[in-house]
Chains A and B, each alone.
Chain A
Amino acid sequence: MGTILVLTRKDLRRRLSDPAALLLNLAIPLAIAGAMALTFGHRGGSAEQNAPKLRLAVVNLDTGVVAEMLAGATQNDQAARHMEIAQAATREEGLALLRDKEYAALLIIPKGFGETVLRGGRTRFELIKNPAQNLMPIAAQQIAEVAALYVSGAARLIGEDGPRLQRLFQDDGWRDTPALTSLVSSLSGRVQRVGALLLPPLIEVSEKKDEVGAEGFDFMSWMYPGMVVMGLIFTGMSQMKDLLREKDAGTLRRQFAAPVGAATVLVSKILASGVIVAAALAILMSIGSIALGIHWGAPLPLAAASILLVLAVTGFAALLFAVVRTERQGDAFGGILTMVMSLLGGAFVPVEIMPDWMSRLARVTVNFWGNGALRTLATGGGWAEVAPYLRVLAVLGFSMTLIGVGLLHRRHARGAL
């Protein structure tokens, strides 16, 4: 054991004398996480609070009071919190806002809109969605449909009094006191009935989330663990590559010539890689805590998850470099495998929404179990929630490390290492 530790220490000193490669391995997940943090924000709130504003352009072609009120409603504080609304004079001007200023949709209130509604006729909003966007135009359509529902409700409430109401808004209609009184008495009963139920709605909706942490979904606490595991695999592979580099340089053969046994040398090499992977994990987690405010959960489950994750990643790298023949092959397959495993393992897209065959395949990747363990802890999970992930990481880690050492030893025995 003492020999293994001496060899490991010597190896670590040599590898850490040039930390550039390690820093580059960590830079990839950090660059991805940084871009995501800038885009989706880590402002301490829920996904909903951090959601981007809906940018809506409105063209009001109607001069009537109903359309004016509707267009005015889009200016209130409530709407301003969730929406950025720009008024355009013409359809062309509105389309230019979509195309040049990246507004999500253009809502056109047609000419004669108010008159049609008040006369009991039917009309429609025209909504033109930005074809260069994906999500926000859909939200804009849903909101336009709610606005249409409100106007339809109001039209139904006013009913046959619509034309009388319209006359009041024309010229000096307000001065016709008898007409005004008659209209108010006709409408008041209906308005009271509707008001008791709808202003505000009698039915409220309270929202609850089944998140372990109860604070709601935090995008970075979900996303960052995936980047961490990906970065660790890159690190593990660049460290294990050192074995083949030493083989090519002839220094490995010299170490095998020492009276310590090939297995001791190989285990020390894998251990040195594991120590660097552990250091990378500590660095990435610290950056996650400091820069992104991620809480990694209770210390003991976190320690267990970290150790088993490092073991699984190092074991995977040992297995891969026991199979590939050259450093170039390792580079090529390593990069490809890491990215494919990251995709499948849920680094970018939740495994829950993948097709069945894909989510089954995800379970054979280290990423799936590593991501699951870190995400569970980052969202407030404890031993009970993280245990299934730890069990699989332990099995994967021990088995891949043992097979990796075995294969490397066999290669050495054949004189191929």
Chain B
Amino acid sequence: MALAREDLRLTLRERSSIFWIFIAPFLWVAFFGTFNRPQDPAQLKIALSVIEQEDTPMAERLVQGLEAENFRITVVKPGQTVATGDDAPPRTLTIPAGFGEAIAQRRKVSLELREARGASPDGTFAARIALHRAIVRLLGAEAMDGFDPAQDAVTVAASWGGGRQMPSGRYQTIPGNLVMFVLIATVTYGAALLASERRQGILRRLAVSPMRRWELIAGKALGRIAVALVQVGVFVLMSLTIFRIEWGSSPIGLALLVLAFVCAAAAIGMLGGTLFSSPDAASGVGIVVVLAMSALGGCWWPSEVMPGWLRQASFIFPTAWAMNGLHELLSWGGGVREVRLHCLVLALYAACAGALATYRLGRAT
């Protein structure tokens, strides 16, 4: 316990570690949470400039149809100039001259949808779907003497599974950053601290003290676990009070999962500390490994955007198990039963990495 307390003290004494453990996660969550907000399609408004090259009832009907969809329309009538600059909508639809006549004569006509540089691909996807709906409505009304949405035979009743009203982007960014920053603190700082103590001969000195070897190793591991638990505590507190997300309905499931993950991270950190003799190399390689594991484990982006093979392959990393387990608790409202496999796999990581670290540390001391 004395060793663990000392490790915790040494870590918290470093100003940069205070930043990386407590301040950076807050900044990251606030920053990425701002841009990672899924919206209900009904509320999503896509800015669109519509350039009317003819002023006919048919063009007008199309514009009305677009307005009924989820577009925020700026109409540019014939003779008016198109707005440019940063405030201009990123997508422009041109209704060509002769549009109404082409429809009346049942001839093909083409609308041009122009996408500005930097326009988001998901916004374009939504625009394309909404435009398609507006076109089908317009042509349907023309063919069937009216196609009023209020009289649609079929509608869609959409809801989110797990009973949540509308998951905010923070349900991705908070678990993702929790997993990543706990790893940064335990793996990189843990490995660097251990490598530094090995280099300075502190471990050898401790080894000749009356302390048993397992006590030495357990003390070092507990130090890392203590740092990580403090970090998790701050994270949970911050997310409850500032970002207002719910951590699911199973505090025991959450505690077990977090503890298993923290143990795995501490063991990996210790293993890293035994692999490198230089603290710089230990932390340098550690940060690269942590970043790669975080990105591929689904901490940076939702795993749904990954190709199927990568999604499967990512489960070789503890980060994927931790993220999947956290989603199970936070998004689906699961409990201990639903995360028991996650906890078991993470505990196995901890056991394997811990055993390897103990073996290497035993040889080094």
Q: Tell me if chain B binds chain A.
A: yes
A residues contacting B by CB (< 8 A) are 20-21, 24, 27-28, 31-32, 34-36, 38-41, 47-48, 51-52, 55, 95, 98-99, 102, 104, 106, 116-117, 120-139, 141-146, 148-153, 155-157, 190, 193-194, 196-198, 201-212, 217, 328, 331-332, 335-336, 339-340, 343, 348-350, 352-355, 379
Chain B positions 1-59 with a Cβ under 8 Å from a chain A Cβ: 14-16, 19-20, 24, 27-28, 31-32, 34-36, 38-41, 44
Say whether A146 contacts B133, CB under 8 Å: yes
In the bound complex, CA of A349 to CA of B30 (Å): 13
Say whether B156 contacts A28, CB under 8 Å: no
Q: Does B307 contact A (CB under 8 A)?
A: yes
In the bound complex, CA of A17 to CA of B352 (Å): 36
One of B196-204, B216-224, B296-304 contacting the partner: B296-304
Q: Does B110 contact A (CB under 8 A)?
A: yes
Chain B positions 73-118 with a Cβ under 8 Å from a chain A Cβ: 86, 102-103, 106-118
- 27 of the cross-chain contacts (CB-CB < 8 Å) are A28-B291, A32-B291, A39-B310, A52-B304, A98-B161, A125-B155, A125-B156, A125-B157, A127-B158, A127-B159, A128-B159, A132-B171, A133-B304, A134-B38, A136-B305, A138-B126, A149-B136, A153-B136, A156-B147, A156-B151, A193-B144, A201-B136, A203-B138, A205-B110, A207-B112, A212-B117, A348-B32
Cross-interface CB contact of B307 among A52, A117, A126, cutoff 8 Å? A52
Cross-interface CB contact of B16 among A120, A121, A210, A336, cutoff 8 Å? A336
Say whether A142 contacts B41, CB under 8 Å: yes
Cross-interface CB contact of B116 among A24, A137, A210, cutoff 8 Å? A210
Say whether B41 contacts A39, CB under 8 Å: no
Q: Which residues on the A side are within 8 Å of B300 (C-beta)? A: 35
Q: Which residues on the A side are within 8 Å of B306 (C-beta)? A: 38-39, 52
In the bound complex, CA of A304 to CA of B108 (Å): 49
Say whether B113 contacts A211, CB under 8 Å: no
Q: Which residues on the B side are within 8 Å of A116 (C-beta)? A: 153
Q: Does B233 contact A (CB under 8 A)?
A: no
Q: Does B215 contact A (CB under 8 A)?
A: no
In the bound complex, CA of A350 to CA of B172 (Å): 19
Which residue of chain A is the closest to B278 with respect to CB atoms?
A20
Say whether B295 contacts A197, CB under 8 Å: no
Say whether A331 contacts B147, CB under 8 Å: no
Say whether B156 contacts A35, CB under 8 Å: no
Say whether A143 contacts B129, CB under 8 Å: yes
Say whether A122 contacts B153, CB under 8 Å: yes
Q: Which residues on the B side are within 8 Å of A102 (C-beta)? A: 303-304, 311
Q: Does B72 contact A (CB under 8 A)?
A: no
Say whether A208 contacts B162, CB under 8 Å: no
Question: What is the predominant secondary structure among interface residues of chain B facing chain A?
Answer: helix
Q: Which residues on the B side are within 8 Å of A39 (C-beta)? A: 295-296, 301, 305-307, 310
One of B205-213, B255-263, B280-288 contacting the partner: B280-288
Say whether B136 contacts A205, CB under 8 Å: no
Q: Does B332 contact A (CB under 8 A)?
A: yes
In the bound complex, CA of A309 to CA of B169 (Å): 34
Say whether A336 contacts B160, CB under 8 Å: no
Q: Tell me the minimal C-beta distance from B107 to chain A in angstroms.
A: 7
Cross-interface CB contact of B38 among A21, A138, A151, A153, cutoff 8 Å? A138
Which residue of chain B is the closest to A331 with respect to CB atoms?
B16
Say whether B126 contacts A206, CB under 8 Å: no
Which residue of chain B is the closest to A140 with respect to CB atoms?
B158
Say whether B86 contacts A352, CB under 8 Å: yes
Cross-interface CB contact of A202 among B107, B122, B147, B156, cutoff 8 Å? B107
In the bound complex, CA of A146 to CA of B140 (Å): 13
Say whether A206 contacts B110, CB under 8 Å: yes
Say whether A332 contacts B139, CB under 8 Å: no
Which residue of chain A is the closest to B123 with respect to CB atoms?
A353
Cross-interface CB contact of A149 among B102, B126, B137, B291, cutoff 8 Å? B137
Q: Does B239 contact A (CB under 8 A)?
A: no
Which residue of chain B is the closest to A195 with respect to CB atoms?
B143
Q: Which residues on the B side are within 8 Å of A155 (C-beta)? A: 153-154
In the bound complex, CA of A41 to CA of B308 (Å): 12
Which of A137, A153, A204, A348 is packed against the most chain B CB atoms within 10 Å?
A153
Question: What is the predominant secondary structure among interface residues of chain A facing chain B?
Answer: helix
Q: Tell me the minimal C-beta distance from B223 to chain A in angstroms.
A: 21
Take A21-B280, A202-B109 as given contacts and tell me if A208 and B114 are in contact as well, using a CB distance cutoff of 8 Å. yes
Q: Which residues on the A side are within 8 Å of B154 (C-beta)? A: 117, 122-125, 148, 151-152, 155
Say whether B111 contacts A131, CB under 8 Å: no
Say whether A31 contacts B288, CB under 8 Å: yes
Q: Which residues on the B side are within 8 Å of A328 (C-beta)? A: 16
Say whether A141 contacts B295, CB under 8 Å: no
Q: Which residues on the A side are within 8 Å of B307 (C-beta)? A: 39, 41, 52
Take A24-B288, A207-B115 as given contacts and tell me if A131 and B162 are in contact as well, using a CB distance cutoff of 8 Å. yes
Say whether B133 contacts A145, CB under 8 Å: yes
Say whether A131 contacts B288, CB under 8 Å: no
Say whether B122 contacts A135, CB under 8 Å: yes
Q: Tell me the minimal C-beta distance from A123 to chain B in angstroms.
A: 6
Q: Does B230 contact A (CB under 8 A)?
A: no
Q: Which residues on the B side are within 8 Å of A151 (C-beta)? A: 153-154
Take A139-B125, A146-B129, A198-B143 as given contacts and tell me if A99 and B161 are in contact as well, using a CB distance cutoff of 8 Å. yes
Q: Tell me the minimal C-beta distance from B328 to chain A in angstroms.
A: 8
Q: Which residues on the B side are within 8 Å of A203 (C-beta)? A: 103, 108-111, 135, 138-139
Say whether B155 contacts A132, CB under 8 Å: no
Q: Tell me the minimal C-beta distance from B89 to chain A in angstroms.
A: 12
Q: Does B177 contact A (CB under 8 A)?
A: no
Which residue of chain A is the closest to B297 with respect to CB atoms?
A35
Q: Tell me the minimal C-beta distance from A200 to chain B in angstroms.
A: 9
Which of A31, A127, A157, A211 is packed against the most chain B CB atoms within 10 Å?
A31
Which residue of chain A is the closest to B300 with respect to CB atoms?
A35
In the bound complex, CA of A353 to CA of B86 (Å): 10
Say whether A128 contacts B291, CB under 8 Å: no
Take A123-B153, A194-B140, A202-B107 as given contacts and tell me if A128 and B160 are in contact as well, using a CB distance cutoff of 8 Å. yes
Q: Which residues on the A side are within 8 Å of B126 (C-beta)? A: 138, 142
Q: Which residues on the A side are within 8 Å of B156 (C-beta)? A: 124-125, 127, 141, 144-145, 148
Q: Which residues on the A side are within 8 Å of B109 (C-beta)? A: 202-204
Which residue of chain B is the closest to A38 with respect to CB atoms?
B310
Q: Which residues on the A side are within 8 Å of B274 (C-beta)? A: none
Q: Does B244 contact A (CB under 8 A)?
A: no
In the bound complex, CA of A197 to CA of B116 (Å): 30
Which residue of chain A is the closest to B168 with respect to CB atoms?
A134
Q: Does B128 contact A (CB under 8 A)?
A: yes
Q: Which residues on the B side are within 8 Å of A137 (C-beta)? A: 38, 160
Cross-interface CB contact of A48 among B44, B121, B162, B287, cutoff 8 Å? B121
In the bound complex, CA of A197 to CA of B296 (Å): 47
Q: Which residues on the B side are within 8 Å of A193 (C-beta)? A: 143-144
Q: Does B292 contact A (CB under 8 A)?
A: yes
